[in-house]
Amino acid sequence: MSQARVLLLFIALLLAASAAQAQRQIEFADYQLPESGALAISVAKGLPDGGAFAELDARLEGALRRAANTAGFSGDRGVVLNLFGIGEFEQLIVIGTGVDPVDARLLEDVGGLVGQLGLLSAAPHLDLAWNIADIPAAGAHLAFGAELGQYTFRRYRSPAPDAPKLGQGSLRILGADPAASRKSWEDDWQHVASGVRFARDLVSEPANVIYPESFVERTREAFRGLDRVSIEVLDQAAMERLGMGSILAVGQGSARPPRLMLVRYRGAADDAEPLAFVGKGITFDTGGISIKGRDNLWRMKYDMSGAAVVTGAVLGLARRGAEVNAIAVAALAENMPSGSAGRPGDVIRTLSGKTYEVISTDAEGRMVLVDAITYVLQQDKPQVLVDIATLTGSQVTAVGDEYGGLFTRDESLATALQQAGMRSGEELWRLPLHPSYAKDLESPIADLRNGGSSGKAGAGVGAFFIGSWVPEGQAWAHLDIASMAWRDDAPLPTVPLGASGFGVRLIDRYVRELAQ
């Protein structure tokens, strides 16, 4: 395991032991290295002469370089030298940036590492100095990373009465043109961060708190007061009238009724075709009658990550006033076994009129998505449709926790989404939609089955099933984020352990680049 991963895992363990809900307030000021206090700086690989590292080392009479040499620290990207009580400084954090060219992602990673380390510091003020005039409003990207990195969810932990107050106070970013960075942060990037936080909070909440109806109420509260936003919610009776047999079939085993929610943000001309983002919102997934095993069943509260992400992404777009028409569609249901639950072998008629045979009630994500997709296509005629879901375990096996899975029939959309993934730090790997998957979905009594044989390409078959409800010629992509929605191995600079909010930054970046 790399030094960077060891450090981040250590941070995660310390945070798990603390119950305080820490959050540093972000401020901006002109670049000037302070004489004391708590300070974070960066340095390139090789610890070159020049810049903040060399300036501080000279001030400390060579003690900083000696400490780096003793620790084996050479400035590799993402590796941290964390020193206490050196010279007049209570704490001195040095972040390695490696040899990579400076870009927004590097800045966000630096900020994220400082944000995480700031949670463990009792210093009331922490400064982050960056004096390289390489990216306009660079401080806003440092702030964005710091805000993501310092995220915690410990709402239900009781604080120990004698626990130290860690991670409170301010994080001040010292750099060139602080006014420009402050404006970019306040007008733009803090709103994207709020969308990520909204998604992470929803996914982190237990399923006795977040279920279809309360998901809707949390969303109404988050969007309250925002201009050019409307929220449509279909309850069980409305879905029955429309013939949404698919989402109803998933929710019929639960005492908590399903909902279909559409959040429409209109930031462009009324006649501009919208972008539609449809999210799987299974607020808890037992597997239904095809019940799951007990191992890690608690985590199935995260099966509404797709719905949380698309809603959080549109929340960020609306708050920052993006010039786009965008729709978040949340297909919300709880998948429970009971006397009223659907069964394997049932035949379901969907909103589109197409039917399928249920092979597994644990293939419920695709079931709720197809009615949601049909509805938004009928009502809004979007230029682009992207669905996002924690759909299959086979996606986890295929690409692990480094990539979300991308399925699409549209080459230009594939390119745009992969580029947005690389630039946002939420990367995608394209997987096939092979025509042979149609054979796996053949049913002797209905138009399709909702799953193929075990041992087959489960992620691709699931994507193919969803795509069967999308007309040819419609720009559509399916994102399977089963491996990316929950981080439990080692944290990343901008992704602490737990709910990741994966997809909010990706969607935001895609919208930005589409606008450009």
Domain spans of the chain, in order of start:
3-182, 207-236+257-286+293-335+343-484
Four-residue CA torsion sign, 360, 362, 364, 365: negative
Going by DSSP bridges, is the β-strand pair 170-175/125-130 parallel, antiparallel, or unpaired? parallel
When pLDDT is averaged across residues 397-405 and rounded to a whole number, the result is 94
Beta bridge partners of 128: 40, 173
Burial class (CB in 10 A: 0-12, 13-18, 19+), 274: buried
Total residues found in the chain within this entry: 516
One DSSP character per residue, 311-349 reads HHHHHHHHHHT-SSEEEEEEEEEEE--STTS--TT-EEE
* pLDDT value of residue 134: 73
CB 48 within 8 A of CB 182: no
- Average pLDDT for residues 378-407, to the nearest whole number? 96
Q: Is 3 a residue whose pLDDT tops 70?
A: no
Q: How many Å apart are CA 152 and CA 21, to the nearest integer?
A: 7
Catalytic one among 366, 423, 487, 505? 366
The whole-angstrom separation of Cα 277 and Cα 265 is 12
Q: What fold, for 207-236+257-286+293-335+343-484?
A: Aminopeptidase (3.40.630)
The yes-or-no verdict on residue 290 having pLDDT over 50 is yes
Task: Give CA–CA dist 199/505, Å, rounded.
Answer: 11
pLDDT of residue 13: 46
What local confidence, expressed as pLDDT, does residue 136 receive?
Answer: 83
Which DSSP string do the residues of 384-429 spell out, in sequence order?
EEEEEE---HHHHHHHGGG-EEEEES-HHHHHHHHHHHHHHT--EE
Specify the pLDDT at position 210: 98
Chain centroid, CA 416 distance in Å: 18
Whether the pLDDT of residue 8 is over 60: the answer is: no
pLDDT category, 373, cuts 50, 70, 90? very high
- Share above pLDDT 70 across residues of the chain, in percent, rounded to a whole number: 95
- Report the predicted TM-score, pTM, of the whole model to 2 decimal places: 0.94
The binding site for Mn(2+) consists of 280, 285, 303, 362, 364
pLDDT given at position 162:
78
Lowest-pLDDT choice from 5-19, 189-203, 447-461:
5-19
pLDDT at 12 over 60: no
Distance of CA 37 to the CA centre of its chain: 34
pLDDT value of position 22: 64
User: What pLDDT score was predicted for residue 18?
Assistant: 45
Average model confidence (pLDDT) across the chain: 93
Gap between the Cα atoms of 165 and 3, Å rounded: 27
Give pLDDT, residue 75: 97
Instruction: State yes or no: is 381 an active-site residue.
Output: no
The tens digit of pLDDT for each residue in 216-252 reads 999 999 999 999 999 999 999 999 999 999 999 999 9
pLDDT tops 70 at residue 273:
yes
Binding annotation: 280, 285, 303, 362, 364
**Catalytic site residue 183?**
no
- What is the mean predicted confidence (pLDDT) over 474-488? 97
Question: Residue 21's pLDDT is what?
Answer: 55
Per-residue tokens: 499: 């709910």
Predicted pLDDT of residue 58: 96
Structure confidence at residue 1 as a pLDDT band (50, 70, 90): very low
Q: What is the DSSP letter of 516?
A: -
Mean pLDDT of 397-413: 96
Q: What are the residues whose beta carbons fall under 8 Å from the beta carbon of 507, sequence distance 6 or more? A: 277, 309, 310, 313, 386, 420
Structure tokens given for 76 = 């590799």
- pLDDT digits over 324-344, tens only? 999 999 999 999 999 999 999
The CATH number given to 3-182 is 3.40.220.10
Q: Is the pLDDT of residue 6 over 70?
A: no
Element at 266 (helix H, strand E):
strand 259-266
Mean pLDDT to the nearest integer, 141-146: 98
How does pLDDT run across 92-122, given as a tens digit for each residue? 999 999 998 999 999 999 999 999 999 888 8
pLDDT tens digits for 33-70? 999 999 999 999 999 998 999 999 999 999 999 999 99
Task: Report residue 133's pLDDT band, with 50, 70 and 90 as the boundaries.
Answer: low
The yes-or-no verdict on residue 513 having pLDDT over 70 is yes
Phi, psi of 482 (to 5 degrees): -60, -35
Residue 494 pLDDT > 50:
yes
Q: Is 344 exposed, middle or buried (0-12, 13-18, 19+ CB in 10 A)?
A: middle
Residue 10 vs residues 18, 79, 114, 120, 258: alpha-carbon distances, Å: 13, 13, 14, 11, 40
Angstrom distance (rounded) from CA 180 to CA 184: 6
Q: What was the pLDDT predicted at 19?
A: 40
- What pLDDT, in 10s, does the model give residues 150-183? 999 989 988 778 777 787 899 999 998 999 999 9
Q: Which of 45, 292, 354, 456 is catalytic?
A: 292
